[in-house]
Amino acid sequence: MTYRSLGVLAVMLALAGCGGGSGGDEAAGGGSPEQGPALSRVASEAELKSSLEAGLTTPQGATELALAPVVDSPAGGFTGTYVQQQSVDEFDAVRYDGQHLFVAPRRFMTCCFVLDGLQPAAATAGERAIRILATDPGRASAGEVGRIALAEDVSVQGLYIDAGRLIALTGQAYYGGYGGFWGEVAIWAPERLGVRIYDVGNPAAARETFAATLDGVFVDSRRIGDTVYVLSRHTPNLPTLELPVRDDAQARRNRAALQDVSLQEMLPAIEIDGVRQPLVVATDCYLAGDGGAGYPVITTITAIPIDRPREFRSTCYNAESYGAFVSADAIYLTQFIAASAAAPSGTRIHKFSLDGVAIDYRGSAEIEGQVWQGGQADFRISEHQGRLRVFSSVLGRDRSDSVDHLLYVLEEAGDGRQLRVVGRLPNVRRPQEIGKPDEALYGVRFVGDRAYAVTYLRIDPLYVFDLADPADPRLIGEMTASGFSDFLHPVTDDLLLGLGAADNGGVKVELFDVSDPALPASRGSQVLGGAGSYSEARYDRHAFAYLADVGGVDRFAIPASLAGIDEFAAAPAEGLYLFEIHDKAAPSAARLVSRGVMAAPASAPPAARNRAFIHDDAVFHVRDETVWSASWDDPGELNGPF
């Protein structure tokens, strides 16, 4: 396949217009989406082949994307990987099961844009392996007990750990953080992703029990119970095709090249034990409502039972996916729809129910604005009692206000093809805008029947929404503070923890009392450093560790690299900062308490990846591939490196 150089990633800072269907109860903001977004099940192999051929022979314009600047209660007294949705596990490169740390090597960007003749990304120098370390929380210590060697061309996307089994998701290349880059043709490059399962019951002699390689580029993954779900994208890898198609001459050449190509050659395959077989069955797939014209991309959801991985099931559809939210029994895939002469910009959402390996399409909708484009802005999406709640942002619609934020509540329409908008803000009955003029949307968190949102331009308004009546969502309270929060964590039903930036540029943690949702209030804050300070946990929830109810006190840890700290000359510039929340049972008396910092030695290079795990009174700080530990009560006395 021939790929053309893309140059610099195009980013559009303004979206024109507003999208999505309305109708229904306009005053309450409800209504039904247009019929176009719905998917239809493929009736025959010929129908799917025709659709894919259309996508590979239709000239396409460049896609330009706008970029906007309840964790599981840990069992046994230790923290695992922080997740967005209770009972839905998230993959990460560092895992902890209460006895062992599993540390995968970092991934590196070795190819920024795809050129003709792309080769798999080169591996980093030295031995590449997943390290296994046994922990001793009583002594706040750890030691390596095993390694799982990796091939030189394998990059670990992330890991799951389940009942003595380690599941590794791997790839041959790394394209950087998930987000706007995925809208470019670079991800159509020939690529294969891997799923490997290891028996780590004896960490010193870990052994591989399953290995599969899938055609396509890794997009995202979640684990629910004993099933791992992998989301991938694939474009037919045929040497005579020219992609992307930019003019009629290229389209004609591609049509000629496809004359003698079978459907199986166009669909992704999976290789298990050296045997290749189809990853998807045509009649288990779906077509976009517009027939798929212009979409040379196949999005595939693959369900892999950990106990019986060879009994996987997959479904696919012929359109792109820029984001995914997974609840305990469904996956919602989002796709940004650029404005055209016929329709304004918006976000298309497809829902599939999940039940073990059964994946069933439930319906689609199209809403105004953009939902998310990478990072942990996926907190903008949540499901509660079968209804989807979504924040979206519309840019460039009004010169006096550069951005409008919208809140939607959607549910299945009952016809198996549509998601119906049952509530929306603002609306005719409740016209107040979300945020002040020109304020961007930062931290968002849905908790039960409430939603919290932080917007920011010069001050930090925290908004509280009541979603108890899905047909009539209401803004019920707000407060302002300096700085802003990127990340919100529910401490209790009445307390919310915010992590973000202070007005001086430092890292800020703040405790909010939301026991009276009409009058939220701050119960104190802590600021680390000044201008130029940074915490990875602001942008990656897996860098945040939270352990509830340790003798009536909650503990949490965040990594931070501090700058502009002349007034804090005694504080280390980089480390893991420890905090406690006291008196959470009485929200008006709740307070933040700083417990110090685990600071790496001055000789240690700056860390590109930080993870923390709290186990009883021990803290383990994983800096890149190296582990340090300390007692919670004496974080300045480090053990390591391990």
Q: What confidence tier does 341 reach under pLDDT thresholds 50, 70, 90?
A: confident
148 vs 132, 168, 205, 275, CA distance in Å?
8, 11, 9, 24
- In the prediction, which pLDDT does 19 show? 34
Which residue, chain included where needed, has tokens 């591939």?
A: 625
pLDDT for 290: 63
The answer to whether residues 465 and 407 touch, using CB atoms and an 8 Å cutoff, is yes
Answer yes or no: are the C-beta atoms of 394 and 387 closer than 8 Å.
no
Helix (H) or strand (E) holding 266: helix 263-266
Q: Which residue has the tokens 């860390």?
A: 607
Distance CA 220, CA 80 (A): 19
Per-residue pLDDT for 125 more than 60? no
pLDDT confidence bin for 151, thresholds 50/70/90: confident
Split at pLDDT 50, 70, 90, the class of 402 is: confident
**343-400 residue pLDDT tens:** 667 999 999 999 999 999 999 999 999 887 666 788 999 999 999 999 999 886 677 7
Q: What angle do CA 298, 301, 305 make, to 5 degrees?
A: 150
* pLDDT greater than 90 at residue 60: no
- Quick one: which H or E segment has residue 49? helix 45-56
Token pair listed for 78: 């230790």
Residue with tokens 């610099």: 8
Nearest residue to 627 via CA among 191, 27, 268, 131 = 131
Per mean pLDDT, which range of 155-169, 175-189, 470-484, 490-504 is the poorest? Answer: 175-189
Helices (H) and strands (E) in the chain, counts: 3, 43
Number of CB atoms found within 10 A of residue 323's CB: 26
Name the DSSP class of 600.
P
Is pLDDT above 50 for 452? Answer: yes
Q: Order of strands across the sheet with 591-599? A: 545-550, 553-561, 574-582, 591-599
Mean pLDDT for 562-566 is 76
The pLDDT, as a whole number, for residue 217 is: 84
Residue 444 corresponds to which amino acid?
A: V
The pLDDT value given to residue 38: 87
**Residue 143 burial (10 A CB sphere; 0-12, 13-18, 19+):** exposed
Whether 265 contacts 63, CB under 8 Å? no
Identify the pLDDT of residue 611.
Answer: 97
3-state SS assignment for residue 581 = strand
Mean pLDDT across 218-244: 88
Predicted local confidence at residue 29, as pLDDT: 62
Residue 295: pLDDT band (50, 70, 90) is: low
Token pair of 23, please?
Answer: 């109708």
pLDDT in tens, 427-449: 999 999 999 888 889 999 999 99
pLDDT at 8: 30
**pLDDT at res. 373:** 61
Residue (of 86, 92, 105) closest to 148 by Cα position: 105
Instruction: Report residue 47 as tokens.
Output: 């129908």
pLDDT in tens, 510-552: 999 999 999 999 999 999 999 989 999 999 999 999 999 998 9
HEC string for 330-369: EEEEEEEECCCCCCCCEEEEEEEEEECCEEEEEEEEEEEC
Strands 591-599 vs 610-615: parallel, antiparallel or unpaired: unpaired
Average pLDDT value for the chain? 84
Consecutive H or E run containing 101: strand 100-103
CA distance 472 to 449: 12
195 exposed, middle or buried (CB, 10 Å; 0-12, 13-18, 19+)?
buried
Q: Which amino acid appears at position 198 of this protein?
A: Y
Among 75-84, 115-124, 608-617, the minimum mean pLDDT is found in 115-124
530-569 burial, b if ≥16 CB within 10 A, otherwise e? beebbbbbbebbbbbbbbbeeeeebbbbbbbbbeebeeee
The confidence band for 13, taking pLDDT boundaries of 50, 70 and 90, is very low
pLDDT at 292 over 70: no
Going by their DSSP bridges, the two strands 242-243 and 2-3 should be labelled as parallel
Q: Which two tokens stand for residue 607?
A: 């860390």
pLDDT at 456: 84
Q: For strand 387-398 and strand 401-412, is the pairing parallel, antiparallel, or unpaired?
A: antiparallel
- Residue 155 CA: distances (Å) to CA of 108, 199, 221: 9, 20, 15
**Tokens 């095709």 belong to which residue?**
241
Of 27-41, 177-191, 287-301, 373-387, give the lowest mean pLDDT range. 177-191
Q: What is the pLDDT of residue 110?
A: 46
Question: 452 with 496: CB under 8 angstroms?
Answer: yes
pLDDT digits (tens, 9 = 90+) for 18-47: 333 333 455 566 654 444 578 999 999 999
Q: How many CB atoms lie within 10 A of CB 265?
A: 13
Please state, in angstroms and rounded to a whole number, the distance separating the CA atoms of residues 635 and 633.
Answer: 6
Rounded to 5 degrees, what are φ and ψ at 21?
-85, 160
pTM listed for this prediction: 0.88
If DSSP codes are grouped into helix, strand and coil, which group holds residue 171?
strand
End-to-end CA gap in the chain: 45
pLDDT band at 148 (very low <50, low <70, confident <90, very high): very high
The model's confidence at residue 189, banded by pLDDT at 50, 70 and 90, is: low
Percent of the chain whose predicted confidence (pLDDT) is above 90: 59
The mean per-residue pLDDT over the stretch 186-203 comes to: 81
Rounded distance, CA 390 to CA 421, Å? 11
Quote helix, strand, coil % in the chain, to nearest 5: 10, 45, 45
